[in-house]
C-alpha cells in the first residue's frame, strides 16, 4: 500500500470533491501557485550560483530597492498565473498598477494578490524568505477585463490564502476555509507533500516577535504594552522576514507585532499583499490578527498599496496585547 503523504494537488482535489458544484478551476489555480513557488524555491536555493544575488538597480512602487530575486519571483508568479487561465486580475507588491486579464470562456474566476518574495533584503545572507498570496473571487463582469474591484476586497472576502517559506526546507501553507495545512517540498520528487495537517495556533505562546530597534519611534501605548511582555515570561524571537516570523508564530504561538511608528504613521506592512492573507490564515487556524483596534480582515483597502499596523498570533496573547494597548491612556505622540 502507498504510504506516502498526500501531495498538495491531491489534497486540494479531495477538498473540492466535497463541493459538487466545483468546476476544478480552483485546483488549476492552486497548481499554478504551487508550481511558481517550487520554481522560486529552486532559484532561491541556487541564487549565488545563478548570479541572482544583489540588487536589480531600480526601486519598486514602494520606493524600496528591488533585488534580482524580487524581479524573478514576481515575473514567475505573473507568468505562471496568467498561463493558468484561472485569473482575471493580479496585484503584486512589486507593481504600481494591477494586471488586468481579458476574458476567456469558463475561466478567469479568481483575482490573486501576492508579495512575490517577502524578506528579500535577507537574500544575500541566506536568511529565510518567502511568498505570500491571497485569492479573491471575481467581482467584475465576466465579459470584460478583470478590474481593480476584483482586488480591492477585505480579507474577510478571501476564498484562500497561503505562503511559502524558503529556508532549511521549503514549506507551503494554505487554507481555503477548511483548515490550515502545510506541505514540505521533497526535492527528489519535486512534490509538495502534506507534512502539517490541520495546523492550529496554540492559544498562547512563550515568544514575542518585533523589531525592537524601532522602539523609540513607537507610540507610547505600544512601548508600554511590549514592556509588559518583557517580564521574563516570554522570549524575543525576530527573524526580520515577515513570512518566517509568521510561520514560527503559527506553529509555536505567541505574538508577532509590527506597529505604526513615527516614520510610518499608517504602518509599514501592506494590507493586501501581506497582512490580510496572513490574518485570514491565522483566524482559520484559531489565532487572531488586528491592527490594534480592529480585525485586519475587516479592513477594506482603498488603494492597492495601503499599509497597516499588524498584530497577529495566539488568540489569548493578542487579546491580552490589545487590552494592554487600550489600558494605556497615551496616544501616539510620534506624529
Per-residue pLDDT at 120 exceeds 70: yes
As given in the structure block, the three cell numbers for residue 251 are 506553529
Q: Is the pLDDT of residue 208 over 60?
A: yes
What's the whole-number average pLDDT of the chain? 89
pLDDT of residue 329: 40
CATH 3.30.540.10-classified regions of the chain: 8-196
Q: 8-196: what CATH class?
A: alpha beta
* Percentage with pLDDT > 90 across the chain: 73
Map residue 252 onto helix, strand or coil: helix
pLDDT top residue among 276 and 54: 276
Domain with CATH 3.40.190.80 in the chain: 207-327
Sorting pLDDT into bands at 50, 70 and 90, what band is 95?
very high
Indicate the pTM of the whole model: 0.91
Q: With a cut of 90, say whether residue 99 has pLDDT above it.
A: yes
Higher-confidence residue of 232 and 113: namely: 113
Phi, psi at residue 138, to the nearest 5°?
A: -65, 140
Cβ contact 174:160 at 8 Å: yes
Name the residue among 151, 125, 331 with its Cα closest to residue 244. 125
Q: Is the pLDDT of residue 195 over 70?
A: yes
The predicted pLDDT at position 334 comes to 37
Residue 123 has pLDDT above 80, yes or no: no
For the segment(s) 207-327, the CATH number from 3.40.50.2300, 3.40.190.80, 3.40.50.720, 3.30.70.20 is 3.40.190.80
Taking residues 185-201, report their average pLDDT.
96
**pLDDT at position 49:** 47
Give phi and psi for 231, each to the nearest 5: -90, 10
CA dihedral 101, 154, 292, 202 (to 10 degrees): -90
Residue 286 zone, left/alpha/beta (φ > 0; ψ -120 to 50; rest): left
Amino acid at each position: 500500500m502507498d504510504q506516502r503523504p498526500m501531495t498538495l494537488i491531491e489534497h486540494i482535489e479531495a477538498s473540492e470533491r466535497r463541493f459538487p458544484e466545483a468546476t476544478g478551476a480552483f485546483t488549476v489555480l492552486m497548481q499554478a501557485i504551487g508550481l511558481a513557488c517550487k520554481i522560486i524555491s529552486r532559484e532561491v536555493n541556487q541564487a549565488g550560483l545563478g548570479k541572482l544575488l544583489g540588487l536589480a538597480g531600480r526601486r519598486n512602487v514602494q520606493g524600496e530597492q528591488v533585488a534580482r530575486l524580487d524581479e524573478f519571483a514576481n515575473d514567475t508568479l505573473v507568468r505562471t498565473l496568467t498561463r493558468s487561465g484561472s485569473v482575471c486580475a493580479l496585484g503584486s507588491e512589486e507593481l504600481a498598477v494591477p494586471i488586468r486579464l481579458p476574458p476567456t470562456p469558463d475561466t478567469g474566476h479568481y483575482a490573486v494578490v501576492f508579495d512575490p518574495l517577502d524578506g528579500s533584503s535577507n537574500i544575500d545572507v541566506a536568511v529565510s524568505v518567502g511568498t505570500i498570496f491571497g485569492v479573491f473571487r471575481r467581482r467584475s463582469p465576466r465579459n470584460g477585463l478583470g478590474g481593480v474591484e476584483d482586488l480591492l476586497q477585505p480579507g474577510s472576502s478571501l476564498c484562500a490564502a497561503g505562503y511559502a517559506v524558503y529556508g532549511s526546507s521549503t514549506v507551503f501553507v494554505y487554507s481555503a476555509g477548511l483548515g490550515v495545512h502545510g506541505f514540505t517540498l521533497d526535492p527528489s520528487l519535486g512534490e509538495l507533500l502534506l507534512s502539517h495537517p490541520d495546523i492550529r495556533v496554540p492559544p498562547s505562546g512563550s515568544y514575542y516577535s518585533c523589531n525592537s530597534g524601532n522602539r523609540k519611534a513607537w507610540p507610547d501605548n505600544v512601548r508600554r504594552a511590549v514592556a509588559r511582555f518583557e517580564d521574563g515570561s516570554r522570549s524575543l524571537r525576530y527573524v526580520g522576514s515577515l513570512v518566517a516570523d509568521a510561520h514560527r508564530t503559527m506553529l509555536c504561538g505567541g505574538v508577532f507585532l509590527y506597529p505604526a511608528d513615527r516614520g510610518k504613521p499608517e504602518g509599514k506592512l501592506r494590507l493586501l499583499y501581506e497582512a490580510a492573507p496572513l490574518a485570514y490564515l491565522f483566524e482559520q487556524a484559531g489565532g487572531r490578527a488586528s491592527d490594534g483596534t480592529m480585525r485586519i480582515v475587516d479592513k477594506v483597502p482603498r488603494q492597492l498599496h495601503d499599509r497597516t499596523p499588524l498584530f497577529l498570533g495566539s488568540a489569548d496573547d493578542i487579546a491580552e496585547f490589545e487590552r494592554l494597548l487600550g489600558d494605556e491612556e497615551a496616544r501616539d505622540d510620534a506624529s
